[in-house]
Amino acid sequence: MCVEPTTALMIMSVASAGMQYQATNAQQKAQQTAQNRQNELARQNAIQRYAAEGLKIRQLTSQSAQKGFEASKKTKSAISSYAVQAGDAGGLMLSGSTDALMRDFYRVDGNYKSSLTENLKLNESQFRRNLEAIQFGQESQSTYVTPPNPELNFATQALNVANTYYTLEYNKDKAGLQTNSQKRNQFPKNLD
């Protein structure tokens, strides 16, 4: 039995469409896997950066509190030392210059603590901006996940097969050969 060349071309077209369908589905699944991996990497990167920023602000807060504590200790030590020396000197503790010196100790201590508080506020503000930047960075590193669409792939391949068939029929007609529909219409359908 001999197979007509156009039939053989159609068989090859259907086989090719089947292989193309499988390849396209596999490619779309691989692309989805890569997109999911990219999003996971972006998420992990953001988590790591959040943790680093959190540690940094905790260290800065602790450092600021420690500096404030050390400054208070120093001020209290200086005031105690001065009070003891003034008391030993015969009651100078009550004089106006002594009060001015004590106010100066407290003023310097207050200014230093205020400076520490302002610096901590600036660091906290920067911390919030850094968290927003991390969030934006994760969003910019993430990608839209496209799921595979086997229905569309099947329809595309079916249309490719149909296009091949009708192109062959058109070329036959154009060359003056009988098309499949003309061959079918040549014989009577029902002889009853």
Residue 122 lies inside a defined structural domain of this protein: yes
Amino acid at residue number 132:
E
Number of domains in the chain: 1
Residue 120 lies inside a defined structural domain of this protein: yes
Amino acid at residue number 164:
T
Average pLDDT, the chain: 85
Selected residue with higher pLDDT from 155 and 79 = 155
Selected residue with higher pLDDT from 27 and 91 = 27
Q: Which of 186, 143, 175 is nearest to 39 (CA)?
A: 143
- What pLDDT band is residue 3 in, cutting at 50, 70 and 90? low
**Alpha carbons 187 and 176: distance in angstroms, whole number:** 19
Residue 104 lies inside a defined structural domain of this protein: yes
Selected residue with higher pLDDT from 38 and 86 = 38
Residue 162 lies inside a defined structural domain of this protein: no
Residue 170 lies inside a defined structural domain of this protein: no
CB 131 within 8 A of CB 53: yes
Residue 189 lies inside a defined structural domain of this protein: no
Selected residue with higher pLDDT from 1 and 170 = 170
Residue 34 lies inside a defined structural domain of this protein: yes
Give the count of beta carbons closer than 10 Å to the beta carbon of residue 33: 11
- What pLDDT band is residue 169 in, cutting at 50, 70 and 90? confident
Least confident range of 63-72, 141-150, 177-186: 177-186
Domain of 45? Answer: 5-142
CB 71 within 8 A of CB 138: no
| Predicted local distance difference test score (pLDDT) of residue 31 | 94
| Predicted local distance difference test score (pLDDT) of residue 188 | 64
**Alpha carbons 166 and 64: distance in angstroms, whole number:** 81
Amino acid at residue number 16:
S
Selected residue with higher pLDDT from 180 and 144 = 144
Residue 175 lies inside a defined structural domain of this protein: no
**pLDDT, tens digit (0-9, with 9 covering 90-100), for 109-165:** 889 889 999 999 999 999 999 989 988 888 888 888 888 898 998 999 999 999 988
Per-residue pLDDT for 50 more than 80? yes
- List, in order, residues 6 or more apart from 165 with CB less than 8 Å away: 10, 13
Average pLDDT, integer, range 60-68:
90
**pLDDT, tens digit (0-9, with 9 covering 90-100), for 9-23:** 888 889 999 999 999
- What pLDDT band is residue 181 in, cutting at 50, 70 and 90? confident
| Predicted local distance difference test score (pLDDT) of residue 151 | 92
CB 60 within 8 A of CB 125: no
